[in-house]
Amino acid sequence: MKKILIIRFSSIGDIVLTTPVIRCVKQQLGAEIHFLTKKRFRQVVDPNPYIDQVHAIDKKVSEVMPELKRVGFDHIIDLHRNLRSLQVKLALRAPSHSFDKLNWQKWLMVRFKVNRLPDIHIVDRYLATTLPLGIQKDGQGLDYFIPEADEVDPATILPANAKGYIAFVIGAAHATKRLPESKIISMCQKIAQPVILLGGPGEKEVGESIAAAAGVHVINTCGSLRLHQSASVVRQADKVISHDTGLMHVAAAFQKEIISIWGNTIPEFGMYPYYGTQPNRNTTQQVSHLSCRPCSKIGYQQCPKGHFKCMMEQEEEVLKISLN
């Protein structure tokens, strides 16, 4: 049995996007799969039945290097391609392949708005690293596995007799990926059915403020649910509204209908919701005419221009129509 190490250190969404590689390599090669990530993100991959062992670091790969050397890997699939993953490859001396990060193409797009980005999703770029191993894309989309103990009964959250709900993911790592609070309130007020707000502890207060202002049909769970519990709420939702963030990809893994809202980043970077060969159930919402987009391939804590038009000018009527 071949022993293969797959590397992706962060973050939630990026790790979810590696799951087709994990699944295809396991199923098609019958290999022993090891996954290297950061400790704060290992919860994303720990329940994955296609992974035989997870290795996790706090900051330095030296923390796990002795155990990695003991395994004796036949191949390394580097889906992060940074200094840490290079250190691993140099130390283990196993054959390896790395994915193309398209850094210069992204730089051209951000700096000069010159689009040299290929129309290829990042999942397909991840999968390209496995071609030398004879792996074929199976078209099944993304995986996300929820431990039974983290499954949530929506009836414990929703008002009595509620039938269905919209999951609204209000968080994102960078402020320029997030709608302003006033915009989320306005959007929620246009939704007729119950809305469950999802986010981490950092969104707890803003979630409470949104729920108080938007109406009794809006329920805040930000900061009160663990990651897998939030994923369970997403899995059972009628539809999902999400910024460009990890739970958007979790929703795609469950083949959910998604309204994805894009601010400073753009889908052309190749990280829009991925459904494999299944029907595309994503509706992209963005302010396309702005000459300043994209202003970053990741994001900022405030709009560099000061006007934040990429979020403030989001069309709310389109959202209302999409939810009907």
pLDDT of residue 318: 67
**Secondary structure (3-state) at 66:** helix
Residues of the chain with pLDDT under 50: none
What is d(CA 214, CA 131) in angstroms, rounded to the nearest whole number? 50
Residue written as token pair 């009527």: 317
Domain 3-133 indexed as CATH 3.40.50.2000: yes
Query: What Rg do the C-alpha atoms of the chain give, in angstroms?
Result: 20
155-323 matches 3-133 in CATH topology: yes
Domain ranges of the chain: 3-133, 155-323
The candidate with the shortest Cα–Cα distance to 91, out of 48, 61, 55, 132, is 61
Per-residue model confidence (pLDDT) at position 321: 65
pLDDT at 63: 98
Query: Distance between CA atoms of 201 and 46, rounded to whole angstroms?
Result: 22
> Could you give the angle at which helices 227-236 and 246-253 cross, rounded to 10 degrees?
50
Assign a CATH topology to domain 155-323. Answer: Rossmann fold (3.40.50)
Q: What is the per-residue pLDDT for 19?
A: 98
Please tell me the number of Cα atoms within 13 Å of 50 on its side-chain side.
Answer: 22
Exposed/middle/buried for residue 191 (C-beta within 10 Å: 0-12, 13-18, 19+): buried
